[in-house]
Amino acid sequence: MSSTNEFAAVFEREEPPEGKLKVSFGPQHPGSGQFRIILTIDGDIVEEAVPDPGFVHRGVEKMCEYKTYIQNIPHIERPVIHDSSGVLFAYALAVERLLGMSEKIPERAQYIRVIMAELNRIVSHEYFLAILGIFLGHSTAFTWCMGDREALIDAAGALTGARVTFSYLVPGGVRTDTPPGFEEKLLKACDYIESRIPVYKQMMFDSPFMKMRMEGVGVIGRQEAIDHGLAGPTLRASGVDSDVRKDEPYSLYDTLDFAVPVRKEGDIMSRLLLHMDEMEQSIGIIRQAVRRMRPGPVKLPLRGQVRGAVGDAYARTEAARGVNSYYIISDGQIHPYRVRINTPSGRNLAIMARLLTGARVADVPILHWSLDYWPLEADR
Amino acid sequence: MKPTTFARGFLVATWAGAKHLLRRRMTLMYPHVENYPTQQMYAYDPKKNVAVSGWRGRHYLDMDKCTGCQLCFIACENISEAIEMIPLPETDYPQNKKKIFPSVDYGRCVFCGFCVDACPFYALYMTPNDELSETERNDLYYSPAELSKPPPLFPAPRVNMKLDLKRGAHDER
């Protein structure tokens, strides 16, 4: 389905049957994000959909083999810039397991990591809501979500020194200690986002027009979601209670008190509401972490080049879009021998062809975006 | 959907938006006012092995401390290849026997700051100035002399984002 040859075969097939039309959705569509779907449509109904990813393949896995463990950091986060701490968390944990120092990470560093991961989850979910608003023709949602996202980016910028490409989580801890006044700024931003969530719900989910567009559209059943191997909010919106933070707790997540929101309907509306629920939970986690943080060191001293021991390491975290995992093999050099990256977006692509078949053309953008599929992350 | 539910939902959604007409807005007239999360310089403390929070913008090179050790160049080597060591034979700094200093090509730099983390002599910093747009690509190349100039003063007043739970986010003047 996803190979270029198959795409060519579909595209070069004879003319579509009488009365049908072949449409290439993307790759330059402002929302599809360098990704295209070849649709065969009959009137307003999609008869066949062939997703065609691979336009933004950068060879991240191969490039990792030529860079040192620290040089990989700015480069690994680039495909998923609005969830940069979420993806770096898994990488940092994998490198620490490889070096055998995962038990020695200072507690303060772990709390800051949790804060940054949850902050990035909220930022990424706000971005999700904003773009979905655009696809629904709801520009107000776009401007509000993008504007409110600035509150958290502002707090994170004071800590890390960048707006989205933080490069902040490194093997051994985090790069900087918190500047004075950071906690107040962060908590204020959390209060602000929390006060905005009911407003989003009023604006987007009470509106009868939005309900008509989203309720009962793109339903994924529970068993179907499991069979296709979906991940993250898409999976949880179909009634599967699966979250790496609870199932295999890493870092300090087993000491923090939070719930995993699950919804049963499996349609676009439930996926959206699930993002809101997760934002509320993340705000709770940030507040707990800020309250429990004590002064102390934030980084282990790593002298000279990081040189991995001979062996392999695997780490799995719950990034904003779902399960994100890194598998690193080292042969004792200053750079890894092999890095395998498994991203949630690649998994969610599996159901796209099924979901689009039989849908209306106007629903294609929202169905595509509601799956949490980010082409840059999936192609890597 | 019942007509009453429809009407109620429609009114709630419209009212949620209409309330914002009365709120103050966070709209900045950009070249005249600017918003930065922080105005600190990003620096690194090699003794404590930890960096100091600050905005990662244009670099600042302290030529009185740079020894020409090339560690910043090595750190940048596989990330963006922006740093290049160039010889300055006319200079006379006693600590820099090789007489080589880093130059940065901002057409390539990704502002990750790992060059600052690599410097063991407190010679390299990053300043909050990130307004580096030029009309010529060659102008983005900063020589050591340009990097060692102190960061420019900003003529525009700087504002912070103020978050008010009742009145919304707006700029603080």
- Contact present, A110 and A251 (Cβ < 8 Å): yes
Which residue in A80, A13, A26 sits closest to A53, CA to CA? A26
CA distance A175 to A158: 13
Q: What is the pLDDT of residue A303?
A: 67
The pTM of this model reads 0.88
In this complex, do B12 and A206 lie within 8 Å of one another by their Cβ atoms? yes
* A3 three-state secondary structure: coil
Q: Is A67 near chain B, with CB under 8 Å?
A: yes
Query: Could B5 and A208 be called an inter-chain contact, meaning their C-beta atoms sit closer than 8 Å?
Result: yes
As a whole number, mean pLDDT of residues B65-87 equals 88
pLDDT for position A346: 82
Q: Measuring CA to CA, how many Å separate A342 from each of A36, A51, A188, A326, A327?
A: 21, 19, 35, 6, 8
Handedness of CA B94, B96, B98, B104 (dihedral sign): negative
| Shortest Cα–Cα distance, B162 to chain A (Å) | 9
CA distance A272 to A236: 11
CA of A71 to nearest chain B CA: how many angstroms apart? 6
Q: Does domain B38-152 have CATH number 3.40.50.300?
A: no
ipTM given for this complex: 0.84
Percent of chain B with pLDDT over 70: 90
How many Å apart are CA A134 and CA A45, to the nearest integer? 22
Per-residue confidence (pLDDT) for residue B150, from 0 to 100: 78
Q: Which pLDDT value is given to residue B171?
A: 67
Which of B6, B163, B172 should be substituted to probe chain A, the one whose Cβ sees the most A Cβ atoms within 10 Å? B163
**What does the pLDDT read at residue A287?**
92
A158 interaction partners in chain B (CB closer than 8 Å): 37-38, 53
Looking up tokens 């392999």 gives A312
Beta carbons of A41 and A68 less than 8 angstroms apart = no
Q: Which residues of B touch A203 (CB under 8 A)?
A: 13, 16-17
**CA nearest to A75 within chain B:** B79
**pLDDT means per 10 residues in chain A (380 residues)?**
53 68 76 77 86 84 88 87 88 88 87 92 91 86 86 88 88 88 88 88 82 85 89 89 88 88 89 90 92 88 75 90 90 87 86 87 86 84
Which residue out of A88, A170, A207, A213 would a mutagenesis test of the B interface target, given it has the greatest number of B Cβ atoms within 10 Å? A207
CB contact under 8 A, A161 and B79: no
Q: Is B94 helix (H, G, I), strand (E, B) or coil?
A: coil
pLDDT of residue B24: 72
Please indicate whether, in this complex, the C-beta atoms of B55 and A191 are within 8 angstroms of each other. Answer: no
Nearest to residue A94, comparing CAs of A254, A325, A300, A251? A325
Give the chain A residue nearest B13 (alpha carbons).
A203
Contact call for B51 and A175, based on CB within 8 A: yes
Amino acid at A64: C
A61's enclosing H/E stretch is helix A60-64
What's the whole-number average pLDDT of chain B?
82
Give one DSSP letter per residue of A10-29, joined into a string: HHHSSPPPTT-EEEEE-SS-
B132 burial level (CB within 10 Å; 0-12, 13-18, 19+): middle
Q: In Å, how far is A37's CA from the nearest CA of chain B?
A: 32
- Considering only residues 198 to 217 of chain A, which have any Cβ-Cβ distance to chain B shorter than 8 Å? 199, 202-204, 206-212
> pLDDT exceeding 90 applies to what percent of chain B?
2
Query: How far separated are the first and last CA of chain B, in Å rounded?
Result: 48
pLDDT for the residue B70: 87
Question: What pLDDT is attached to residue A1?
Answer: 44
- A174: closest chain B residue by CA: B50
Q: Give CA torsion, residues B74, B78, B81, B83, to 10 deg.
A: -20
> 10 Å Cβ neighbour count for A332?
10
Q: Which positions 110-169 of A are in contact with B (Cβ < 8 Å)?
A: 140, 147-148, 150-151, 153-162, 165, 167
Please list, in sequence order, all residues whose beta carbon lies within 8 angstroms of the beta carbon of residue A13, skipping any fewer than 6 positions away: none
B chain contacts of residue A70, beta-carbon cutoff 8 Å: 75, 114
Comparing CA positions, the residue from A232, A224, A222, A226 lying closest to residue A342 is: A232
The reply to whether B165 touches chain A by the CB within 8 Å rule is yes
Neighbours of A144 (CB within 10 A): 24
Q: Walk me through the domains of chain A, giving residue ranges and CATH numbers.
A: 1-55+347-380 (3.30.390), 60-342 (1.10.645.10)
Boundaries of every domain in chain B: 38-152
Q: Are A375 and A32 in contact (CB under 8 A)?
A: yes
The count of residues in chain B is 173
How far is residue A161's CA from residue A322's CA, in Å, rounded to a whole number? Answer: 26
Would you state the pLDDT for residue A116? 92
Q: How far apart are CA A124 and CA A374, in angstroms?
A: 11
Asked if A243 contacts A318 with a C-beta cutoff of 8 angstroms, the reply is yes
Asked if the Cβ–Cβ distance from A150 to B50 is below 8 Å, we say no
Helix axes A182-200, A139-160, angle to 10 degrees: 170
- Residue A235: phi and psi, rounded to 5, are -70, -45
Of B53, B117, B163, the CB nearest to A188: B163
CA distance A88 to chain B (A): 14
Render A123-180 in DSSP notation, one character per residue.
HHHHHHHHHHHHHHT-HHHHHHHHHHHHHHHHHHHHHHSSSS----EETTEESBPPPT
Collapse the DSSP code of B118 into the 3-class scheme (helix H, G, I; strand E, B; otherwise coil) and give the result.
helix
Rounded distance between C-alpha atoms, residue A166 and residue A189, angstroms = 18
